[in-house]
Amino acid sequence: MALDLLSLEAKRALITGAGTGLGRQMALGLAEAGADLVLCGRRRAKLEEVAAEASAFGVEVTVIPADVTKEEDVQTLRAESGRIDILLNDAGASDKLGAWTETSKGEWERILTLNLYAPFRLCQLFAPAMMERRWGRIINIASVYGSVGCDPSRYPGLNWEAPAYFASKHGVHGITHVLAPRLAPYGVCINSISPGMFIGERNSSMLSSAMIDRLIDGTPMHRLGNSDDLKAAAVFLASPGAQFVTGQNIIVDGGWTVW
């Protein structure tokens, strides 16, 4: 049956950035579909909160605090995670406020390391075992700003140009595209999801009511993303039913990028 192709029972998923926001939402979606979880993030308390929610679906949940920009942490993550069938790379951040002309090398490297190198490194560490088992799913979280530029008029009063963030999210698609044909012969699918306008812990403090109104006006569905909007996309790309989908990008943006 078609719904059986969406079941994640007997699968084990590792989600980075799982303690808050979009990572939390997608982790809960995978748990509801039956996947056991390994939750990764820097703050144990946040991960434990998500673990308690996910456990209510009757799945096994493991919490592993780790900074995915540190090699010793990702090595520990690999060693303690056990078998991973689904890797969901969500951990990320944006540049500090300021003009692109003032972006320092240190800031550039900080964002590119977290948003771009870390997901690639985790693919290096976890994909080979998937290839050996001839089954696996990798989901990279990009952004609508990995496909288009930023209209400053939608952020009135905010000096947010974020060149490293934009470059990193464009690069996430590059990672997805270069790995897809290399993993496909082994039954491993890699895809990306590009969320549109969601408000969460990362951006809530910087968005004024005027900015939120502009963001809503720029979305054809005339609302921002909610706590359920990414779950189904993540479940589908993680599922057996996505076995013929690889190297693709699912945009979940309420129509933001059609204008």
61-91, pLDDT tens digit by residue?
A: 999 999 999 999 999 999 999 999 999 999 9
| Predicted local distance difference test score (pLDDT) of residue 158 | 84
- Looking at the annotation, which residues are catalytic? 165
Confidence of residue 107 (pLDDT cuts 50, 70, 90): very high
Closest CA to 138 of 148, 152, 153, 125: 125
Cβ 81 vs Cβ 14: under 8 Å: yes
Taking only the tens place, the pLDDT of each residue in 127-171 is 999 999 999 999 999 999 999 998 888 888 888 889 999 999 999
Residue 1 has pLDDT above 80, yes or no: no
Q: 3-state DSSP helix/strand/coil percent for the chain, to nearest 5? A: 50, 15, 35
Residue 3 scores a pLDDT above 90: no
- Arithmetic mean of pLDDT over the chain: 95
In the block, residue with structure tokens 């001839």: 134
For residues 259 and 206, the model is more confident at 259
- Domains recognised in the chain with CATH numbers: 2-253 (3.40.50.720)
- Report the distance separating Cα 162 and Cα 96, nearest Å: 7
Cα–Cα distances in angstroms (integers) from residue 234 to residues 31, 65, 137, 149, 210, in the given order: 11, 22, 10, 24, 31
The pTM of this model reads 0.96
Over 80: is that where the pLDDT of 205 sits? Answer: no
What percent of the chain stands above pLDDT 90? 85
pLDDT digits (tens, 9 = 90+) for 208-254: 888 899 999 999 999 999 999 999 999 999 999 999 999 999 999 99
Is the pLDDT at 200 greater than 80? The verdict is no
Q: Which residues contact 85 (CB under 8 A, 6 or more apart)?
A: 11, 12, 13, 35, 130, 133, 135, 136, 137
